């Protein structure tokens, strides 16, 4: 499941701004880091001198967020023991170079894509194939036996199919998600109807509810008896949940409460696995440059898709997806629409793009392909409904 990095970015700026920089540095030891530099396609070199306080200043940043369906130890107790490692949910988080926009684009796990040959940390190499998107992560884990191999194979798959360069990755597990929700005192959400799913443990009455960590995770995992039971329907629920979490973290109650903020950051950092180049310092710098962003400019969407011609139980991306990925690679609004608020004061510079990409005006996906159930874009402000 996708959760955490957007919240960490928002919270870290308040944490650092409160004079707790030393504590923030200490939190860095909580994060599990892996080196994938030799396993992924090289990113374009930058000609600018990085800001020591924010290496990403003036550059677009793309972060691949993966939810680990790890089922051993405490995670096995939560989700049921199972062998192997899976990533059932993936999201590309794009932060614009001028820090005026944050876009989170979900990738359905059942998407049929080209999975490239991947080299693992143990030297083994997988064969290129065409299959489900989430099999890239599983292949890396099964052949390489570690998170670095799994994450690198997924990153290579994203880059090959989208043209978007991934700068960092983050993986979060079940237990970490529960801890983060509990650390902020739960997540308020509106439910027009009661929801129940025996398999995930979801049992939420209709009306305005505050989900604790256990129930929030059950909601994020629920498929049976919720909507149409599909993975793409679950993605929509997860996006609404994350938006509600972002609102809660951005609220004065969390940002001005040292106890809640420290608890949240401790839970968030201890539940993360990231690439070795992503530090608490770089996250704090990014957060500082996002301090003036409007919640209306934090956009969620699912990449446009349709039932796969080869298998109705799988999906394939439509031509509208090409436009979204191209816009992201060129650091223009994913849907070709201008942001709803003025840009922040962060410096601007050419965006980080995949090899061969060129800066271009924003293109607009055709409405018939983007305005379908489960694919509409929405912002944090759009989910402030009250029962």
Mean pLDDT by 10 residues, the chain (387 residues): 45 47 63 90 54 70 82 43 62 92 92 97 97 94 94 96 94 80 89 90 93 91 70 83 84 71 75 81 72 83 94 93 95 74 40 43 46 62 67
- What is the C-alpha to C-alpha distance for residues 225 and 197, in angstroms, rounded to an integer? 6
pLDDT at res. 315? 94
Outline where the chain has alpha helix (H): 5-17, 21-27, 73-79, 135-144, 147-162, 174-183, 213-221, 231-250, 252-255, 258-270, 280-289, 319-329, 367-370
The structural domains of the chain, ordered by start, are 5-39+51-383 (3.40.630.190)
| Cβ atoms of 25 and 280 closer than 8 Å | yes
- What is the C-alpha to C-alpha distance for residues 142 and 276, in angstroms, rounded to an integer? 22
- What is the C-alpha to C-alpha distance for residues 250 and 343, in angstroms, rounded to an integer? 19
Among residues of the chain, what percentage have pLDDT more than 70? 69
HSE of 283, CA atoms in CB hemisphere, 13 A = 33
Report pTM. Answer: 0.79
Q: Is the CA virtual torsion 223, 227, 233, 239 positive or negative?
A: negative
Residue 153, token pair as written in the block:
């194979």
pLDDT at res. 296? 86
Q: Which of 58, 54, 64, 56 is nearest to 93 (CA)?
A: 64
pLDDT at res. 129? 97
pLDDT in tens, 265-284: 777 777 778 898 887 667 76
- List beta partners, residue 262: none
pLDDT at res. 55? 66
Q: What angle do CA 287, 292, 273 make, to 5 degrees?
A: 20
pLDDT at res. 294? 82
Q: What angle do CA 386, 174, 20 make, to 5 degrees?
A: 80
pLDDT at res. 208? 94
């Amino acid at each position: 499941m996708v959760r955490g990095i957007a919240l960490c970015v928002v919270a870290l700026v308040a944490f650092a701004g409160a004079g707790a920089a030393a504590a923030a540095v200490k939190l860095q030891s909580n994060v599990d880091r892996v080196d994938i530099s030799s396993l992924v396609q090289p990113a374009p070199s930058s000609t600018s001198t990085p800001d020591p306080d924010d290496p990403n200043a003036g550059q677009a940043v793309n972060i691949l967020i993966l939810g680990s369906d790890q089922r051993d130890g405490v995670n096995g107790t939560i989700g049921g023991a199972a062998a192997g490692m899976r990533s059932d949910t993936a999201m590309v988080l794009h932060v614009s170079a001028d820090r005026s926009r944050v876009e989170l684009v979900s990738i359905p796990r059942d998407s049929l894509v080209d999975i490239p040959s991947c080299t693992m940390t143990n030297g083994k190499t997988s064969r290129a194939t065409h299959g489900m998107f989430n099999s890239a992560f599983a292949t890396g884990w099964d052949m390489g036996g570690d998170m670095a191999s799994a994450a690198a194979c997924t990153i290579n798959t994203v880059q090959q199919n989208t043209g978007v360069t991934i700068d960092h990755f983050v993986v979060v597990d079940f237990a970490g998600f529960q801890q983060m929700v509990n650390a902020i005192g739960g997540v308020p959400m509106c439910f027009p109807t009661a929801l129940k799913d025996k398999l995930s443990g979801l049992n939420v009455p209709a009306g305005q509810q505050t989900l604790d960590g256990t129930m929030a995770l059950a909601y994020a995992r629920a498929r049976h008896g919720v909507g149409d039971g599909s993975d793409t329907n679950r993605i929509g629920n997860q996006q609404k949940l994350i938006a509600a979490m972002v609102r809660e973290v951005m609220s004065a109650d969390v940002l001005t409460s040292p106890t809640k903020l420290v608890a949240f950051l401790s839970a968030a950092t201890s539940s993360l696995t990231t690439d070795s180049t992503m530090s608490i310092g770089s996250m704090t710098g990014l957060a500082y440059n996002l301090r003036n962003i409007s919640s209306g400019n934090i956009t969620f969407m699912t990449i446009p898709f349709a039932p796969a011609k080869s298998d109705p139980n799988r999906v394939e991306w439509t031509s509208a997806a090409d436009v979204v990925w191209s816009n992201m690679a060129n650091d223009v609004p994913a849907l070709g629409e201008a942001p709803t608020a003025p840009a922040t004061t962060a410096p601007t510079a050419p965006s980080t793009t995949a090899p061969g990409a060129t800066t271009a005006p924003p293109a607009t996906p055709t409405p018939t392909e983007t305005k379908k159930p489960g694919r509409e874009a929405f912002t944090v402000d759009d989910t402030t409904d009250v029962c």
